[in-house]
Amino acid sequence: MTVTRRTLAVATAGLALPAVARAQDWPNGAIRIIVPFAAGGSTDAVARLAAPGLTQRLGVPVVVENRSGAAGSLGTHAVAQARPDGQTWLLTFDSHATLPALLPNLPFNLTRDLEPVLLIGGAPYVIATRPDKPYRSLQDIVAAARARPDAINYGSTGNGTIGHLTMILLGNRAEIRMAHLPYRGGGLAVNDTVAGHVEMMIGSAALVAPQISAGNLRPVVQFGPERLPALREVPTAAESGFPGLEAEAWWGVFAPRGTPAAAKQRMQQALTESFREERVSRTMTETQQARLVLAGPEDFAKFLERQIETWGGVVRNHNIQAD
């Protein structure tokens, strides 16, 4: 048989048909959104906020599955090695960008094995403490830490997370030493701070906002470029004498490398529409204190590259080790 341009085109089209059919048939069963942190944290809350809208728009059950451990790498690895059939997705947090520097022997490649789908939004980091603690300003924290080096402790959502790295930068700038207590999830850090087991914690505004509203925590300082509308009385780090010290949490969705383009596009659309619902949008911006971005794959990829460079540098420069 003589292979002509026409027969080659027909053969190639025939090979492509099954993949096209699979993409058109998607979704064909329950969808898993893996959150690589424990239940109760802001990432878990964001995923569960999106799930009902996704179920409605995609017509299949959407299940949120928590797989915490190793700074979020266990759950992330599960998605990286999942079949790229559009049935498994990752909804993760800002510490995603620190994984290559924090865990240099990762069994997956962050940018090769996972594809950005949607940058949902972000929220500034906040230091919060119990109302009966003596810390009412960042200056109070600095003074206490200088008077008692390594005696004042704080909780974070884990070793090498952006909150932890922000406190390291604060320590360097203020020339103080504080004891770090890493938790496996934001909910656990919040619980122990409310209970008084730690002096204070650093977490995203989304994480601490419910307890601040309930009066169980008092915000001391926020690390955004400007004050949040809901925290108008709380100064930024720049206003507290540390210009340039900024840190914002973010949430994003990724797919295993090779997931059909049609499935990624439909998932991106369903996610965007879900977060734009009035109830969901209001919960994100008011209750979670987040700024919705809803940026697509190209912009998300550029954003992630900058985050890896910035925070990965902090990890390497300070020899931060994973838990």
Same domain? For 144 and 221 the reply is yes
Q: Quick check: is 23 in a domain?
A: no
Residues 25, 27, 30, 33: what is their CA dihedral angle, to the nearest 10 degrees?
Answer: 150
The widest CA-to-CA distance across the chain, in whole angstroms, is 87
Q: Quick check: is 99 in a domain?
A: yes
Instruction: Report the candidate in 223, 261, 218 with the shortest Cα–Cα distance to residue 239.
Output: 223
**Domain enclosing residue 276, as ranges:** 29-122+250-317
**pLDDT score at 323:** 67
Instruction: Report the candidate in 144, 149, 146 with the shortest Cα–Cα distance to residue 133.
Output: 144
Regions in the chain scoring below 70 on pLDDT: 1-24, 323
Q: How many domains, the chain?
A: 2
Q: Quick check: is 16 in a domain?
A: no
Query: What is the rounded CA–CA span in Å between residue 215 and residue 196?
Result: 14
DSSP symbol at 201: E
Same domain? For 69 and 107 the reply is yes
pLDDT digits (tens, 9 = 90+) for 195-250: 999 999 999 998 898 899 999 999 999 999 899 988 999 999 999 999 999 999 99
CATH of the domain at 65: 3.40.190.150
Q: Quick check: is 92 in a domain?
A: yes
Same domain? For 73 and 93 the reply is yes
Same domain? For 129 and 226 the reply is yes
Q: Quick check: is 102 in a domain?
A: yes
Same domain? For 139 and 118 the reply is no
Strand partners, 64: 33
pTM of the model: 0.81
Same domain? For 207 and 150 the reply is yes
Same domain? For 204 and 222 the reply is yes
**pLDDT score at 186:** 85
Q: Quick check: is 323 in a domain?
A: no
Same domain? For 111 and 191 the reply is no
Alpha helix locations (H) across 59-198?
73-80, 99-102, 138-147, 162-174, 186-195
Among 199, 231, 263, identify where a domain stops: 231
Same domain? For 115 and 261 the reply is yes
Same domain? For 162 and 309 the reply is no
Q: Quick check: is 307 in a domain?
A: yes
**pLDDT score at 263:** 98
Same domain? For 61 and 91 the reply is yes
Query: What is the rounded CA–CA span in Å between residue 312 and residue 309?
Result: 5
Query: What is the rounded CA–CA span in Å between residue 313 and residue 316?
Result: 5
Q: Quick check: is 24 in a domain?
A: no
Same domain? For 77 and 174 the reply is no
CATH of the domain at 187: 3.40.190.10
**pLDDT score at 5:** 40
